Amino acid sequence: MLRFILHYGIHILVPIGIALVFYPDKRIKASLILLAGFLLDVDHLWAEPIFDPNRCSIGYHLLHSYLAIALYTGLLIWKPLRIVGIAFLIHMVADAVDCLFILD
Ligand SMILES: [Zn+2]
């Protein structure tokens, strides 16, 4: 239950919180872009099974690979794409927290 709350809390509340704090005049648009970080989970469609609660996504799926995470970090440098990088990195943090529960 804690795992579920943390995972979806980071996926949903952190993007909205960042939008409100850092993009106050564009909070709706910023929230939507940040929430769209969820879309990275399309790479699960190539995995078998598509969803496995005991599998750590980080380093397993293509869009959750360490190379992909390095690219998302690189997006932070260029201002127009910074918010997309933030969206993707929030997703990685949410999934990484989830992995901590698997290692237990
Ligand atoms: Zn994911």
* Cα 91 to averaged position of ligand 1 atoms, centre (Å): 6
* Cα 5 to averaged position of ligand 1 atoms, centre (Å): 15
Q: What is the pTM of this model?
A: 0.90
| Count of domains observed in the chain | 1
* Cα 37 to averaged position of ligand 1 atoms, centre (Å): 9
Interval 85-103: pLDDT, tens? 999 999 999 999 999 998 6
* Cα 40 to averaged position of ligand 1 atoms, centre (Å): 6
Distance (Å, rounded) from C-alpha 8 to C-alpha 60? 20
Handedness of CA 44, 49, 54, 56 (dihedral sign): negative
pLDDT tens by residue, the chain, 104 residues:
899 999 999 999 999 999 999 999 999 999 999 999 999 999 988 888 888 888 999 999 999 999 999 999 999 999 999 999 999 999 999 999 999 998 65
CA 51 to chain centre: 16
Domain that holds residue 82: 2-103
Per the omega criterion (within 30 degrees of 0), is the bond before 15 cis?
Answer: no
* Cα 41 to averaged position of ligand 1 atoms, centre (Å): 5
